[in-house]
């Protein structure tokens, strides 16, 4: 496994993000329309590591089957994830080429 970085560092990265964290909250899923047509369920979770201070918390976007696979309290590892920024908030997703699993 590639070396994990603290969330405070991950927020400054764009791709190739490797993080170990705990899911500390999760919103209700919502359905969004895909650019390619169709719909998918999406859920926002908050992950934290180290001291759980604001700089070590980050939004994690869960898509489709991942919504039911991961719950509050789960410790996870994300490899090769990527971040994006929307309205000044950085969020992480595993994307097409990343992996996420419980540890």
* Tens-level pLDDT at each residue, the chain (103 residues): 578 999 999 999 999 999 999 999 999 999 999 999 999 999 999 999 988 888 999 999 999 999 999 999 999 999 999 999 989 999 999 988 999 999 9
Give the pair of three-digit tokens for residue 64. Answer: 């489709």
What does the pLDDT read at residue 1? 58
Cβ-Cβ contacts under 8 Å for 61 (sequence gap 6 or more): 42, 43, 44, 45, 91, 92, 93
Domains and CATH numbers, the chain: 7-102 (2.40.50.140)
44-56 core/surface letters (b: 16 or more CB in 10 A; e: else): bbbbbbeeeeeeb
pTM: 0.91
Give the pair of three-digit tokens for residue 62. Answer: 């869960």
């Amino acid at each position: 496994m590639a070396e994990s970085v603290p969330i405070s560092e991950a927020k400054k990265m764009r791709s190739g993000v490797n993080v170990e964290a705990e899911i500390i909250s999760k919103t209700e899923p919502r359905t969004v329309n895909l650019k390619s047509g169709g719909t998918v369920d999406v859920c926002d979770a908050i992950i934290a590591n180290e001291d759980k201070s604001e700089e070590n918390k980050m939004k994690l976007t869960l898509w489709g089957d991942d919504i039911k696979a991961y719950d509050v309290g789960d410790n996870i590892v994300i490899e090769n994830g990527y971040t994006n920024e929307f309205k000044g908030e950085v969020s992480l997703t595993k994307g097409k080429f990343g992996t996420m699993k419980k540890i």
